Each structure stands twice: as C-alpha cells, then as structure tokens.
Amino acid sequence: MRVFLAMAAGCVLASATMGAQARPLTQNDRHTCKWGAQIAAEAQKAKLSGVTLYASRKKLQVRRFAKAWMRMTALGITEQTFNSRSRLKPAAIGQTYYEQCVQHAVARK
C-alpha cells in the first residue's frame, strides 16, 4: 500500500512538472537563441578559416550591438567555440547552439 501511494504521489508530481515545462518559448527567447547561434556559426567559420581568437575578439569589440549584454555574450560564445576541438561545419554548430539554447530556455520556465 505504501509503495502504491508513493508511486501515485510521484506520478502527480511528474505530471505537474511536465505541465510547467510545456510553456511555449517567447519571441524574445527565440530571437536570443537565433542571435547566439549566428555568433557561434561565425566563430566556427573564423576558426576553420585560420583566423585567430585575438582577431575575432577585436572584430567583435568594434561591432555594434543592440543591447549592452550582447558584446560580452558574443565574446564568451566566440571564446568557447575557439576552445572546442570541434571541426564541424558552421551551420551544424549554429544548429546545435540553437537547439541547446531552446532546451535551456524551456527548462528555465
């Protein structure tokens, strides 16, 4: 009987959790993930073409961004992309970044 009650309570908690995670992404979340994916793809393209991390960072420093947080985020994404050993095509890196960003945004809600 105790096992049954514990299982029933677990099912109720699990269904409540799933309901909370089913919220759709906002337009802002989608835009942010697309922007980050673009930055990651550009960084991978630069890395594969032989551009140094230093040169990529300098290019980002002079680039204009719409929001204050974007510059530091772009620098972080670029640095992580250069530090990875991945040799995937830039489009694949962008797609992977977008998918993981969306998963993170959904889990955060």
Q: What is the pLDDT of residues 5-63, one digit of tens each?
A: 333 334 433 444 444 555 788 999 999 999 999 999 999 999 999 999 999 999 999 99
95-101 contact pairs (CB < 8 A, 24+): 95/37, 97/33, 97/36, 97/37, 97/40, 97/41, 98/33, 98/34, 98/36, 98/37, 101/32, 101/33, 101/36, 101/37
Q: What is the pLDDT of residues 60-76, one digit of tens each?
A: 999 999 999 999 999 99
Whole-structure pTM value = 0.77
Per-domain boundaries in the chain? 25-108
Q: What is the pLDDT of residues 77-98, one digit of tens each?
A: 999 999 999 999 999 999 999 9
